[in-house]
Structure 1
Amino acid sequence: MLSQCLRLWRRQGGCTPNGGRDMVEDYEIQEMIHRDVYVGDKHVGVVVGERFHPRDEFVRSLRLKVEDDIASEFMRKPADLAPLAKELVHSIRPDGGIKLSKSMRELQRRWRNTVRIEEDLYAPDELLDRAVLDNDGMDIGNVISLIKIKRTYKGLLIKPHFMIRARHGLPDTIAVPCGQLARTTSRLDEVILKCTFSRLMTLPSYVKLNDEGYEEE
């Protein structure tokens, strides 16, 4: 289900610089969808939704359809959809658009701190606690952390289900390379792999990621 409403953003200090009252607190997420987003007078994109998860700590971002020229200028590789942190929302403009509290440089910094799946960008909070399935539909486990190497996300740290661990002789956690993530499902809150789990375990990228030291985030 969709998260409750933007009133929560204010309680977390996210709607105004001082966490004070703002007209945006009265808007539910359903009312934010299809609104234009602006940094100053620059049109950044349009809100198209958010993640489906019952716990608010895993729904800290909106999904934003980014304008082509913005994506080309402020992303390493242009993406159609990208996260918009709720804490960046400042207020509702007189024309109904969403005003952000930060500069394009801050948006650019946050977009660099994402994972690319199927040509779209995902913030860490949008991936944590997602179920991970292989391309045969086998439920492997859930994402408990992200793996960063040299300031770039390289994998998802997964806690496999007990039966999967027992069947394949796995440790308590395994690392899945970001390059093997095929797509996400919105309603079911899943990440789907490009291959079967048996195939995944034979890939050099999987073996390397699970053998070397890495930084969890």
Structure 2
Amino acid sequence: MGKLRQNKYDIQELIQRDVYVKDKKVGVIVGERHHPNESRVQSLRLMVEPTVAEEFMRKPADFAPLSKELVHSIQANGSVRLSKSMRELQRRWRNTVRIDEKLYAPDEMLDRAVLDNQGLEIGIIKELLKVKRTYRALRIKTRLNIQMQYGVDDYINIPISALSKTRERLDEVVLSRGFDKVLQLPSFGQVNDDEADFESEC
């Protein structure tokens, strides 16, 4: 079959297909982000082969993003072939956020709601911030009620280390503790310091 053109295949046609770079099986497509704005959905979700994760990730993860632009074609046997090498895939996996042993691309994080572990919605992710080429914080646009209740600014930074899990169906990120406890973390103070040396990524 020919190349996968934009909008030619939807996720239902790609899901559960094996993914290959040349003769190496990389993993299986298991879904994509649930977001009403399709232009935000630039990545597929991939369940990665353990041997591939061991070889091509700094720290192995079970799930990782697969950029749609890397998908080249569907083969006669039903598998998906990628257009780039494993080194390109490795490079992209380095540019991710790790949450609960899963890797997420920047496009999978933007505009997600952030909740604390009690279900309180803090705000929406607007930017990812790096220090020395590693993501260290999320820039959050806080809800008005959060600003009033906790006396925080309309934008705050949440350390990546304070994230616990994602809720894929609801497009949410959940913190590891209550927001009042997050505010007391030393890492929260560090990422909100005026002298924090961030490299804005997106």
Relative to the length of structure 1, the TM-score reads 0.88
Cα distance in 1, alignment partners of residues 94 and 37 from structure 2: 25
AA paired with 1:24?
Answer: L
Residue type at the aligned position of 1:201: L
Q: Which residue of 2 aligns with 1:91?
A: 73
Aligned CA-pair RMSD: 1.2
> Aligned equivalents of 2:189 and 2:28: distance in 1?
40
Q: In the alignment, what sits opposite 2:199?
A: 215
Per-residue deviation, residues 76-124 of structure 1 (Å, max 9, x unmatched): 0000000000000001111110010000000000000000000000000
- Which ranges in structure 1 are unaligned for 5 or more consecutive residues? 1-20
Name the structure 1 match of 2:142. 160
Q: CA deviation at 1:23?
A: 4.6
The equivalent residue for 1:3 is: none
Offset of residue 169 of structure 1: 1.4
Could you tell me which amino acid in structure 2 is paired with residue 153 of structure 1? Y
Q: In the alignment, which of 89, 104, 115 is matched to residue 122 of structure 1?
A: 104
| 1:172 corresponding residue in structure 2 | 154
Aligned AA (2:83): S
Partner of 1:5: none
> 1:185: how far off?
0.3
Q: Distance in 1 between matches of 2:79 and 2:65?
A: 17
Runs of 4+ in structure 1 deviating by more than 3 angstroms, as ranges, are none
SS of equivalent to 1:137? coil
Deviation at 1:172, TM superposition (A): 2.0
Shift of 1:27: 2.4
Distance (Å, rounded) in 2 between the aligned partners of 1:114 and 1:180: 16
Asked whether 1:34 is paired with 2:19, we answer: no
